[in-house]
Structures are given as C-alpha cells and as structure tokens.
Amino acid sequence: MGLALLSAAISGIIFGIGLALAGMLNPAKVAGFLDIFGLWDPSLMLVMAGGIAVNAAGYFLFLRSGKPLFASSFSLPEARQIDKKLIIGSVLFGVGWGLAGLCPGPVVASIGLDPLSILPFLAVMLAGLKLGVIIRTRI
Amino acid sequence: MTINWTEFTPLMSFLGGVLIGAAAFILMLTKGRIMGVSGILAGLLPPNSSFELFWRLAFIAGIIAGPLLLTRFGLYNIEAVAVAEGGILYLAALLVGLGTAIGSGCTSGHGICGLSRLSVRSMMAVATFVLAGVLAVFVMRHLM
C-alpha cells in the first residue's frame, strides 16, 4: 500500500515536471501548436514523440506479461469499438482544448502555480466531467 | 503554413515528453494503471470507493508538486500566457470535462498511453480532438 502510493506520487511529480518543461502549462504555446493556419509552433509534436517513444518502449519490453509491482493485475481499457461516444466526446474536448489551450493534466499541474485563475476552471471542468460520466451511460 | 521558429522549443519539449512517457511507464509498472488524467480525476468524484481513492490522490498531489519544485528552487521559469477569458474560458472548461468523460480520455490517456499501446480507438480520438482543436483555434484567431 505504502509503496504503491509512493510510486503513484513519484509518477505524478515526474509527469508535472515533464509538462512544465515541455511547455504544456502555457496555453499560448498549446494554441500555437493548434494554429496550423497561422504561425505554427510544432513543439507539441516533440512532446508526443518523446512521450510515446519512452512509454511504448517500456510497455512492449516489460509490461505485456506478468503483473504490476504493487497491484494484482494490469487495468487496461477493454473497449475496442470506434463508437459515436468516442468521436462526439473527442470533438467536444478538442474544441475546449483549442479555446482555452488547457487540457486536464496541465490544469492540475497549474493548481499550485496560479490557484486563483486555475481553481475556478478546475471546478467547471470537474462539473463537466461528472455530467459527462452521466451522459455517457445514456447515449 | 509558417513555422514559428522563435517559439519552437524542440529540445525542452522532447525532454518534457520523455519525462511524461517515463511517468506513464512508472504508473503502469507499479499500479498497472493507464496514466490518463481525466479518468483519474473522474475516479475522485463521488460516488467512489475509498480503496481506489488514495493512489489517485497521491498521483494528483505529485502533479501539483512537480512544477512547484521547479519554481521553488528556481530551476525553471514556467511561462503561462492565457488565450481565453470570461465566458469563453468557462465554456472551454465545461467542454474539456464533458468531452474527456464522453470520449473516455484526454491528451495523456489517449495521446500518450493509448498511442503507445497502438490502440486504434486512441488513434481515432487523438486525430479527432487535434482536428477539433485546430478548427477552434482557426475560428477564434482567423475568423473572429
């Protein structure tokens, strides 16, 4: 239990530092990546490349068999179908991401840096998450 | 398409990405969990089981602490310039929450973890939310 919590915290710390160094905590930079018809900042392509390279290597080398160190089994998504929930949800998320330049990870990572402007955003985002979880079961 | 060379940060962004990938690997190796922030946050909202609460809280606390460690020790200057305010900002917050819940994931879960596992669902999700984001930015910056 203790080691599981410690490893989750360490993962979070590394994730938060990674987001900051990558420039993901800057909404203007994220919007600059999405602005392919204006002055385009391709930096987020390299965030994806670095993240996927390391995680994919780890996944395919170490995690395809056995079990996790501090849990009884791997919890991987079982859904395989491309359904309308996946597409509708991703469209809504993409529009919000483009409008604010913020997605859930950077919102959480910015809480301590600028609580006054982030906490109201976080509250509305969490309300949206809860509402979305309810809607997902009905469509 | 014109590349913004003055804002382009290939090395730091790649390094940040490597850390993000390492964090996702650590969470899967130790807890066997996908590092998807929207899903982990959704699991904190009531109703929830207390057993599943603690590792989520530890992970979230870590994410908050990471950037604070950087700034507290003066290691890195984190820049943040807002692109929206008022009604548009809160509409965006609502859409981010709704969309990631209905679409089962965000940039971390689908973008980093799903693509690493070669999930076709995640490939579709990423293509869709990047395209929707591009269109939103196009409308805001070039049409309005």
**Residue ranges of chain B whose pLDDT lies below 50:** none
pLDDT (0 to 100) of residue B144: 83
A 114-133 residues inside an 8 A Cβ radius of B: 114, 117, 120-122, 124-133
pLDDT (0 to 100) of residue B47: 83
pLDDT (0 to 100) of residue B46: 86
pTM, rounded to two decimals: 0.96
Whether B15 sits inside 8 A of A22 (CB atoms) is yes
What CA–CA distances, in Å, run from A113 to A99, A118, A123, A124? 21, 9, 16, 19
> ipTM of the assembly?
0.96
**Each residue of A23-75: pLDDT tens digit?**
999 999 999 999 999 999 999 999 999 999 999 999 998 877 789 999 999 99
Q: Which residue(s) pair with B84 in the sheet?
A: none
Chain A interface mutation, best of B33, B88, B120, B129, highest count of A Cβ atoms under 10 Å: B129
